[in-house]
């Protein structure tokens, strides 16, 4: 089971927060998790391999997905709701999030010394565009097209949050096909009961290219100020074209593009980075 929970919050007072709140939200998530299962929280914290969850930064509601130039700070208003989301790729964790985690969330949360009250937790996409429940089997079924139907060879992703990749120990702030789809395929094959053919990695390298994009680079201030460490990232949309002769490879790319909603892409997806959605299912 794949899960995306949206946690809605309201601030107790007006003020500002730095835009890069992902590391703080990650710490809050593990702290909330530890209220009902300390061992699980510690296990997720210590895990060195591909992690089965993501955590977004704190978001202000916006009805549009267009890429806007971001302000320097996140303005907090008493009339505005804010939210963050947690996703899970592993059935046991997904079930836990939908039960014990929700039931044991505190009614008050402190985010970087700013108090918030819990409004509600949403799991249905009908109630919030960034929430939802699915499964690996359902995503696979949705990606399969009848043999008589021509498959769209273009795949578009919207990198909603700051995103970057790690290559040879350095940041690579570009949505290159190999980095993007390898990141998704690795996550899929780690947790899905229906693994993809490893030859997909070679196909992406040889037969997938970028055919359009609108991205901008940004510096993420990891500790909320210019004094802390910085991470070079990008945001925006990118279109990829598949030149596959075999339609199954292109179907796999569409599958991974929809999986991205739950898995995230790239580096530090547990700390607010790499929140991505396929443009043909955009919230």
Structure-model confidence comparison of residues 263 and 73, the more confident one = 263
Mean pLDDT of the chain: 89
**What is the third-level CATH fold of 147-281?**
Alpha-Beta Plaits (3.30.70)
Check pLDDT > 90 for residue 19. no
For residue 102, give the H/E element and its range: helix 102-103
- Beta-sheet pairing, 15-18 with 73-76: antiparallel
Q: Give the Cα separation of 119 and 121 in Å (integer).
A: 7
Mean pLDDT, range 108-130, rounded to an integer: 94
**Residue-wise pLDDT tens digits, 36-62:** 899 999 999 999 889 999 999 999 876
Classify residue 250 as exposed, middle or buried by CB count within 10 Å of its CB (0-12, 13-18, 19+). Answer: buried
* 147-281 has the same fold as 2-132: yes
**What is the domain partition of the chain in residue ranges?**
2-132, 147-281
Instruction: Return the higher-pLDDT residue of 67 and 271.
Output: 271
Q: Where is average pLDDT lowest: 1-10, 142-151, 168-177?
A: 142-151
What is the reported pLDDT for 232?
A: 92
Burial of 108 (0-12, 13-18, 19+ CB in 10 A): exposed
- Which of these CATH numbers, 3.30.70.1890, 3.40.50.2000, 1.20.1740.10, 3.30.70.100, describes 2-132? 3.30.70.1890
Tokens of 197: 């053919």
> Considering the entire predicted model, what is its pTM?
0.92
Residue 225, pLDDT > 80, answer: no
H or E segment at 249?
Answer: helix 247-263
């Amino acid at each position: 089971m794949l899960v995306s929970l949206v946690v809605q919050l309201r601030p107790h007072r007006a003020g500002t927060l730095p835009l890069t709140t992902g590391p703080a939200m990650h710490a809050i998530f593990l702290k909330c998790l530890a209220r009902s299962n300390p061992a699980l929280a510690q296990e997720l914290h210590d895990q060195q391999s591909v992690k089965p969850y993501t955590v977004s930064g704190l978001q202000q509601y916006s009805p549009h997905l267009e890429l806007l130039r971001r302000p320097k700070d996140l303005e907090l208003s008493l009339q505005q709701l804010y939210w963050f989301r947690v996703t899970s790729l592993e059935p046991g964790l997904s079930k836990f999030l939908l039960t014990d985690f929700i039931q044991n969330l505190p009614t008050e949360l402190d985010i970087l010394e700013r108090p918030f009250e819990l409004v509600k937790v949403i799991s249905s996409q009908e109630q919030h565009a960034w929430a939802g429940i699915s499964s690996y089997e359902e995503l696979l079924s949705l990606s399969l097209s009848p043999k008589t139907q021509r498959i769209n060879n273009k795949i578009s992703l919207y990198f909603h949050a700051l995103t970057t990749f790690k290559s040879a120990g350095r940041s690579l702030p570009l949505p290159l096909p190999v980095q993007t789809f390898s990141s998704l395929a690795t996550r899929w094959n780690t947790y899905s009961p229906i693994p993809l053919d490893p030859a997909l990695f070679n196909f992406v390298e040889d037969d997938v290219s970028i055919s359009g994009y609108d991205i901008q680079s940004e510096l993420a201030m990891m500790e909320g100020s210019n004094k802390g460490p910085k991470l070079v990232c990008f945001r925006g949309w990118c279109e990829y074209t598949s030149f596959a002769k075999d339609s199954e490879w292109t179907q796999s790319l569409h599958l991974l593009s929809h999986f991205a909603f739950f898995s995230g892409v790239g580096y530090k997806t547990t700390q607010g980075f790499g929140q991505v959605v396929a443009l043909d299912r955009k919230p």
